[in-house]
Amino acid sequence: MNTEVFITCAVTGVGATTERSELVPVTPAQIAESALEAARAGAAIVHVHVRNPETGGPARDPALYREVVERIRSSDVDVVLNLTAGMGGDLVLGGVESPLPPNPEGTDMAGATERLEHVAELRPEICTLDCGTMNFAEGDYVMTNTPSMLREMARQIRELGVRPEIEIFDTGNLVFAKQLIAEGLVDEPAMLQLCMGIPYGAPADPGTLLALVNQLPPTCVFSAFAIGRMQLPFVALAPIAGGNVRVGLEDNIWVERGVKATNGALVERAVAILEAMNVRVLEPAEVREKLQLATS
């Protein structure tokens, strides 16, 4: 069991959660303020996506990231910044009879350098690396991350002095993550995030979590989370399995039955669960030391 745990708050994501909760932040100002709220509540790390301020849909405009990051860095709140690098690998095929050409609505494919443009400019302490390709949810959408793309992104992230958080959605992702470490493309201690319950990846159950944990690199630091109603149970389960914790509106919009969450409320609930388990919640400075982060 891990008795000293850090909390990551995934602030907004890019899914259609804005259609189900008005509390999901959309504009850069809203995302930054929600991230700061989470940090004040006890999150040591904030994981940041940006959205199109007009539509609320997916975006990867570096200017949007710049505004969010500048607002957070100019505040008096200390928090570790973790920017997504997952955007730009979205492939929506044209249908079951005519998969090619891809459907332009929803398809957003970009090269490694373009996908990391905001990371290169803003130099967060952490950025994510989605370690595989998978059928993500329904329809003709495929989250696309080829081995050559991942190797090149890992190489660039390492050269930038940023720590990758390797996102593991299923067992094959973990196999390739260990390959990246073996090839020297990811420095140790590697940081891994076990992403559970996302169709059609690893299901959010204790057996699957432990199967992944039993295959982790021995020196890594890991977190685990689940989406939806399993998010808060995983706050207790992840430390028991030896890991750290992630909550946030990217993955779950409810703090309890019938009560919509804010990021601050989810972090507060996570802190309460952990402290009830006699687990100490780590501060940002302690996380930097634990992960050997290069400060920005």
pTM (predicted TM-score): 0.96
pLDDT above 80 (res 123)? yes
pLDDT digits (tens, 9 = 90+) for 223-245: 999 999 999 999 999 999 999 99
* In-domain check, residue 165: yes
For residue 65, the domain's CATH number is 3.20.20.70
Mean pLDDT of 119-128: 98
* In-domain check, residue 296: no
Identify which of 248, 287, 286, 243 has the alpha carbon closest to the alpha carbon of residue 269. 248
* In-domain check, residue 84: yes
Residue 64 pLDDT class (50, 70, 90 cuts): very high
Predicted confidence at residue 294, as pLDDT, reads 74
Predicted confidence at residue 75, as pLDDT, reads 97
Predicted confidence at residue 295, as pLDDT, reads 59
Residues 6+ apart with CB under 8 A from 177: 131, 166, 168, 186, 190, 192, 217
Q: How far apart are CA 282 and CA 270, in angstroms?
A: 13
Residues 6+ apart with CB under 8 A from 240: 1
pLDDT digits (tens, 9 = 90+) for 66-88: 999 999 999 999 999 999 999 99
pLDDT above 80 (res 296)? no
* In-domain check, residue 116: yes
pLDDT digits (tens, 9 = 90+) for 136-153: 878 999 999 999 999 999
* Block residue for tokens 């409320």: 265
Predicted confidence at residue 167, as pLDDT, reads 98
pLDDT above 70 (res 13)? yes
Q: Which domain holds residue 43?
A: 4-291
Total domains in the fold of the chain: 1
Q: How far apart are CA 238 and CA 245, in angstroms?
A: 6
* In-domain check, residue 257: yes
Percent of the chain exceeding pLDDT 90 equals 98
Mean pLDDT of 33-50: 98
